[in-house]
Amino acid sequence: MARIKKRDKANVPPGQETPLDFAVSSRDAGTLQMVQDAIHHKQVMLAFQPIMNASDQTTPAFYEGLIRVLDETGRVIPAKDFMGAVEDTELGRQLDCLALELGLAELSQNPSLRLSINMSARSIGYSRWMRSLQRGLRKRPDAGERLILEISEGSALQVPELVIDFMDKLQGKGIAFALDDFGKGFTSFRYFKDFYFDILKLDGQFSRNVHRDSENQIIAAGIAAIAERFDMYTVATRIEDPKDAHVLADLGFDCLQGFLFGPPTTKPDWQTSKNDRNAA
């Protein structure tokens, strides 16, 4: 069977869209409207997932705060279901701001919490984002030392010089940076030399079933060793099998993240404990 090539939408004459083009366009339009409505009605929240110490897999090293929106029925929608449609738009910038604001609020209310928040390199220079950060640090100056900003490999590669300068400025405030999804795209070892990320998060394609995939074991071990030489903390993601967790810990990863240790939740333990104390 001949391979079906993706068509360049820019070259499709008006009125000649295929049913697939129309379905994709309609889906994206519906997603944009859902996100816009959620932002307008302040139906946006974070879900928190623990990132565990590999040497003690009962103890979280920190948490990742993942942006969520509510649809019109009140259902919690994960980022994977909408971020692709909004990442290049103004809505994507607004979501980055809201994620940061929600994360800083959690850090302000919980002095022992360390939290990572995702952002796109496209939000660098977005004035509201920087105002949100400055406001949060004024309210709680030590929050910067407990804040980790995650930028994906693909996003960082789009504007590398801008990302490098941005990181240099904010690392001076104690903020750490994580390179997310390492290995997902066109992995480049320039990340180790040029960017000075504090944390490297290995993409889940190299973590899943690593206990029975010798090639992935070699790749993961090599990345962990190089990261250690560059003084980078390492996190293996999407861990679901205890055997994978054991292998990755033995290969030298500092932390592990995945459903094995708990799914993202909008009701983390520290919020539940606080509500119980308030009700008592």
User: How many helices (DSSP H) and strands (DSSP E) are in the chain?
Assistant: 10, 9
Give pLDDT, residue 186: 58
Grouping H, G, I as helix, E, B as strand and the rest as coil, residue 197 is: coil
Give pLDDT, residue 274: 61
Q: In 54-188, which residue ranges form alpha helices assigned H by DSSP?
A: 83-86, 90-109, 127-139, 153-158, 160-171
Distance CA 106, CA 111 (A): 9
Give pLDDT, residue 157: 84
Q: Are 148 and 175 in contact (CB under 8 A)?
A: yes
Distance CA 224, CA 228 (A): 6
* 160-184 per-residue burial string, b: 16 or more CB within 10 A, e: under 16: eeebeebbeebbeeebbbbbbbbbb
Instruction: For the chain, give the number of residues.
Output: 280
Q: Are 211 and 246 in contact (CB under 8 A)?
A: yes
* Low-confidence spans in the chain with pLDDT less than 50: 1-10, 12, 19-20, 22-24, 280
Q: Which phi and psi angles does 88 have, rounded to 5°?
A: -90, 5
Distance CA 190, CA 173 (A): 24
Give pLDDT, residue 2: 36
Q: CATH second-level architecture of 20-274?
A: Alpha-Beta Barrel (3.20)
Give pLDDT, residue 7: 40
Gyration radius of the chain over CA positions: 20
Give pLDDT, residue 183: 85
Give pLDDT, residue 29: 77
Q: Are 177 and 197 in contact (CB under 8 A)?
A: yes
Task: Give 223-268 pLDDT, tens digit per residue.
Answer: 999 999 999 999 999 999 999 999 999 999 999 999 999 999 999 9
